[in-house]
C-alpha cells in the first residue's frame, strides 16, 4: 500500500484545479453566442485530428501498432467533437439531443480505446495496415452515424439528462479507463521524473473532470463551459507530448503501459550527467566486461525490487546505483582488472578498495542521493559482516543494498570472466541459496529464484552445486 501513496498523491494534486474550477463555476448561467461553442469545440476537434494524423503516420512508418491504436482513439475524439460542434443549438440546428449525446459519449469511448493501448498484443510487431483499416472504418461509421443524427437532430431527445442516474452511470463507465490511464501516467512520471509524463497525467485527470462537468451541468451553466475548457486543455496535454515522443522514436509510456525494467535502466542512463557518462565510457574501455555487467545488474536489481514491492522512487535509485556500482574500478590498475589468473593478496586488496573509491568519486561529482552512494559503497557487504570494504553487516543497510548485492553476485557468476568461464544458472542459484541468511538476504535470493524460474532462464546443463563448506564468493575471492 505504501508504494501506492505517491501515485495517489500525484493524482490528487492533478485533480485540485478541475475540482475547484467546476465548484466555483457551478450552475451560474453564462450565455455565449453559438459561434463561441463551435469555435472552442471545433478547435479542440481539429487539434485532436492533427494529433491522430501524426500518430497514425508515424506509427505506420515505424510499424508501431500502439501508436496507430492511440491515433485511433484521437480520431474518435476528433470525430465526436466535430459532431458535437455542428450540433450546437442556435447555429446550424435548433434545440436537439445530438449535442448532449456526442459530448457524453466522446470521452468514455475514446478513453476505453486509449486504456486498451497497453494490451500485450499491441506491444509486439502488429499488422499496422490492418489497424489503419480499422481506424478508417471506425471514423467512417462514426461520421456516418453522426451525419444521420444531425439530419434527424430535432427528433433525438436530450439524453442523458444532466445529473441523472443515466448520466452518473455513463460517467462511471467513462471514468474507469481514464483513471487507469491516469494511474499509469502518474506511476510512469514517478519512475522517469519527465515533465512530459507529468503533463500527460495531469491532462488525463483534467479529462475526467471535463467528463464530469459535461454530464453533471446543463447547457449554458458556467460549469458546462468550464468542462469544455478542461476538455480542450486535457486533449492538448495528452496528445502533443505523445506526438513529440513518437517523433523522437520514444513510445508514449504513460499511455501504452508501465515502464519495463530495461526501459527504466535505459532512462536513468540517458539522464546521467555528461561527466558521469564519460566516466562510464572510460570504465567500459578499461574493463570491457564491466560495461555489460553494470547494465545487466541494474536491470536485474530493478526487476527484483519490483518483485519485492519497492515503490517507484526507490526503483529509480536502485537503477542508478546499479549502473554506477562499479564506477570505483576506474581507480584499479588495468593489469589487476584483466588478470587471467588468481589475484595476490595485494591485488585483491586493491580490488576491495573500489567500492569506497566509487563513493568518493560520486561524492566529488555531486548530485547523488545517499541511497545511491550507499549502493555504490556497500554492494559487497554481507549479512554476517564478512564483506568489504567496511565489514558492516548488510542488514544495517536499506533493502536496495541487499538487492543489488544478490544481483551483482548472480550476474558475476553467470557471466564469462577473464579468469574463468561462466557458471550455470543452477550452480549460481545453488550457491546463493546455500549462503542465504548468512551472506545474502533470503528474501532477495527467493525473489531471484522466482524471477529466474519465471523467465525460464535455467541452463540446460546441470552442474554440481558447490560444497557446503565453500566460503561466500565475494567475501574473500573474486566473483
How confident is residue 473, by pLDDT bands cut at 50, 70 and 90?
very low
Cell matching residue 6:
505517491
Query: Are residues 286 and 137 part of one domain?
Result: no
Query: Are residues 305 and 230 part of one domain?
Result: no
**What distance in Å separates the CA atoms of residue 227 and residue 22, rounded to the nearest whole number?**
7
Query: Are residues 450 and 333 part of one domain?
Result: yes
User: Helix, strand, or coil here: 89?
Assistant: strand
**What distance in Å separates the CA atoms of residue 10 and residue 132, rounded to the nearest whole number?**
35
- Section 281-290 average pLDDT: 80
136 pLDDT more than 50: yes
By the 8 A CB rule, do 390 and 409 touch?
A: no
**What distance in Å separates the CA atoms of residue 270 and residue 382, rounded to the nearest whole number?**
31
**What distance in Å separates the CA atoms of residue 242 and residue 246, rounded to the nearest whole number?**
6
- CATH number for the domain spanning 298: value is 1.10.3210.10
- How many CB atoms are closer than 10 A to CB 46? 14
Between the ranges 356-360, 361-365, 400-404, where is the mean pLDDT highest?
A: 400-404
State the SS3 of 336-383: HHCCCCCCCHHHHHHHHCHHHHHHHHHHHHCCCCHHHHHHHHHCCCCC
Query: Are residues 96 and 9 part of one domain?
Result: yes
More confident residue, 51 or 189: 51
pLDDT tens digits, 53-69: 998 998 888 787 888 88
Contacts of 477 (CB under 8 A, 6+ apart): 471
**What distance in Å separates the CA atoms of residue 110 and residue 68, rounded to the nearest whole number?**
14
Query: Nearest CA to 368 among 327, 412, 332?
Result: 327
Q: How many domains does the chain have?
A: 2
Query: Are residues 178 and 318 part of one domain?
Result: no
* pLDDT for residue 468: 43
Contacts of 151 (CB under 8 A, 6+ apart): none
Which of 206, 239, 256 is where one domain is finished? 256
Query: Are residues 271 and 221 part of one domain?
Result: no
Which of 227, 256, 285 is where one domain is finished? 256
159 pLDDT more than 80: yes
**What distance in Å separates the CA atoms of residue 178 and residue 110, rounded to the nearest whole number?**
9
Half-sphere exposure of 323 (CA within 13 A, CB side): 24
By the 8 A CB rule, do 114 and 70 touch?
A: yes
Query: Are residues 280 and 250 part of one domain?
Result: no
Query: Nearest CA to 73 among 85, 89, 86, 55?
Result: 55
Q: Mean pLDDT across the chain, nearest whole number?
A: 84
More confident residue, 373 or 366: 373
Angle of CA points 114, 120, 126, to nearest 5°: 85
The contacts found for 167-173 with CB under 8 angstroms, 24 or more apart, are: 167/104, 167/215, 167/216, 168/215, 170/104, 170/105, 170/108, 170/215, 171/211, 171/212, 171/215, 171/216, 173/108
Query: Are residues 413 and 437 part of one domain?
Result: yes
Q: pTM for this structure?
A: 0.65
- DSSP string of 251-264? --HHHH-SPPHHHH
Query: Are residues 274 and 228 part of one domain?
Result: no
**What distance in Å separates the CA atoms of residue 375 and residue 397, rounded to the nearest whole number?**
9
**What distance in Å separates the CA atoms of residue 70 and residue 73, rounded to the nearest whole number?**
5
**Residue-number span of the structural domain to which 246 is assigned:** 2-256
By the 8 A CB rule, do 446 and 477 touch?
A: no
Contacts of 41 (CB under 8 A, 6+ apart): 81, 82, 84, 85, 88, 228
* pLDDT for residue 477: 45
By the 8 A CB rule, do 209 and 15 touch?
A: yes
- Whether a cis peptide bond, with omega within 30° of 0, leads into 160 is yes
Which of 241, 256, 271 is where one domain is finished? 256
Query: Are residues 283 and 170 part of one domain?
Result: no
- DSSP string of 39-54? HHHHHHHHHHHHHHHH
More confident residue, 103 or 255: 103
Write down the residue that cell numbers 467512417 correspond to. Answer: 140
Query: Nearest CA to 178 among 200, 161, 198, 197?
Result: 200
User: Helix, strand, or coil here: 298?
Assistant: helix
How confident is residue 463, by pLDDT bands cut at 50, 70 and 90?
very low
**What distance in Å separates the CA atoms of residue 203 and residue 230, rounded to the nearest whole number?**
9
Query: Are residues 274 and 183 part of one domain?
Result: no
- Whether a cis peptide bond, with omega within 30° of 0, leads into 352 is no
How confident is residue 315, by pLDDT bands cut at 50, 70 and 90?
confident
By the 8 A CB rule, do 386 and 393 touch?
A: no
**What distance in Å separates the CA atoms of residue 414 and residue 296, rounded to the nearest whole number?**
11
Write down the residue that cell numbers 435548433 correspond to. Answer: 94
**What distance in Å separates the CA atoms of residue 474 and residue 325, rounded to the nearest whole number?**
15
Least trusted range by pLDDT, from 133-142, 183-192, 228-237, 432-441: 183-192
478 pLDDT more than 70: no
172 pLDDT more than 90: yes
- Section 116-135 average pLDDT: 75
121 pLDDT more than 70: no
Query: Are residues 266 and 251 part of one domain?
Result: no
Cβ-count burial 419-437 (b if 16+ within 10 Å, e if not) = eeeebbbbbbbbbbbbbbe
How confident is residue 251, by pLDDT bands cut at 50, 70 and 90?
low
Amino acid at each position: 500500500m505504501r508504494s501506492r501513496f505517491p501515485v495517489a498523491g500525484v493524482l490528487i494534486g492533478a485533480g485540485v484545479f478541475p475540482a475547484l474550477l467546476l465548484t466555483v463555476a457551478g450552475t451560474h448561467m453564462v450565455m455565449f453566442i453559438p459561434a463561441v461553442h463551435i469555435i472552442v469545440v471545433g478547435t479542440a476537434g481539429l487539434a485532436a485530428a492533427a494529433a491522430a494524423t501524426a500518430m497514425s503516420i508515424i506509427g505506420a512508418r515505424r510499424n508501431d501498432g500502439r501508436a496507430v491504436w492511440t491515433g485511433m482513439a484521437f480520431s474518435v475524439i476528433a470525430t465526436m467533437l466535430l459532431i458535437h460542434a455542428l450540433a450546437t443549438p442556435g447555429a446550424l440546428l435548433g434545440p436537439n439531443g445530438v449535442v448532449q449525446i456526442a459530448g457524453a459519449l466522446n470521452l468514455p469511448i475514446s478513453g476505453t480505446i486509449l486504456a486498451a493501448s497497453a494490451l500485450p498484443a499491441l506491444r509486439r510487431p502488429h499488422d499496422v495496415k490492418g489497424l489503419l483499416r480499422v481506424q478508417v472504418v471506425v471514423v467512417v461509421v462514426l461520421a456516418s452515424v453522426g451525419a444521420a443524427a444531425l439530419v434527424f437532430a430535432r427528433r433525438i431527445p436530450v439524453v442523458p439528462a444532466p445529473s441523472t442516474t443515466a448520466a452518473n452511470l455513463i460517467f462511471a463507465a467513462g471514468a474507469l479507463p481514464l483513471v487507469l490511464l491516469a494511474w499509469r501516467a502518474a506511476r510512469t512520471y514517478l519512475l522517469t521524473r519527465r515533465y512530459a509524463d507529468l503533463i500527460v497525467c495531469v491532462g488525463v485527470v483534467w479529462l475526467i473532470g471535463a467528463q464530469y462537468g459535461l454530464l453533471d451541468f446543463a447547457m449554458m451553466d458556467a460549469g458546462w463551459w468550464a468542462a469544455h475548457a478542461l476538455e480542450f486543455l486535457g486533449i492538448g496535454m495528452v496528445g502533443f507530448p505523445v506526438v513529440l515522443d513518437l517523433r523522437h522514436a520514444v513510445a508514449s509510456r504513460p499511455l501504452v503501459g508501465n515502464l519495463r525494467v530495461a526501459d527504466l535502466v535505459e532512462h536513468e542512463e540517458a539522464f546521467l550527467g555528461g561527466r558521469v557518462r564519460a566516466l562510464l565510457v572510460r570504465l567500459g574501455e578499461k574493463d570491457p566486461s564491466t560495461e555489460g555487467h553494470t547494465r545487466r545488474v541494474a536491470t536485474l536489481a530493478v526487476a527484483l525490487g519490483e518483485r519485492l514491492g519497492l515503490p517507484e522512487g526507490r526503483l529509480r535509485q536502485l537503477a542508478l546505483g546499479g549502473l554506477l556500482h562499479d564506477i570505483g574500478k576506474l581507480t584499479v590498475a588495468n593489469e589487476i582488472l584483466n588478470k587471467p589468473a588468481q589475484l595476490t593478496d595485494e591485488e585483491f586488496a586493491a580490488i576491495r578498495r573500489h567500492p569506497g573509491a566509487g563513493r568518493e568519486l560520486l561524492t566529488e561529482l555531486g548530485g547523488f542521493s545517499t541511497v545511491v552512494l550507499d549502493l555504490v559503497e556497500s554492494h559487497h557487504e554481507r549479512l554476517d559482516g564478512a564483506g568489504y570494504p567496511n565489514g558492516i553487516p548488510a542488514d544495517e543497510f536499506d533493502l536496495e543494498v541487499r538487492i543489488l548485492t544478490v544481483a551483482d553476485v548472480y550476474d558475476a557468476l553467470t557471466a564469462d570472466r577473464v579468469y574463468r568461464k561462466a557458471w550455470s544458472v543452477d550452480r549460481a542459484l545453488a550457491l546463493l541459496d546455500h549462503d542465504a541468511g548468512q551472506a545474502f538476504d533470503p528474501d532477495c535470493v527467493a525473489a531471484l529464484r522466482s524471477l529466474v524460474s519465471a523467465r525460464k532462464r535455467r541452463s540446460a546443463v546441470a552442474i554440481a552445486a558447490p560444497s557446503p563448506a565453500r566460503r561466500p564468493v565475494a567475501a574473500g575471492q573474486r566473483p
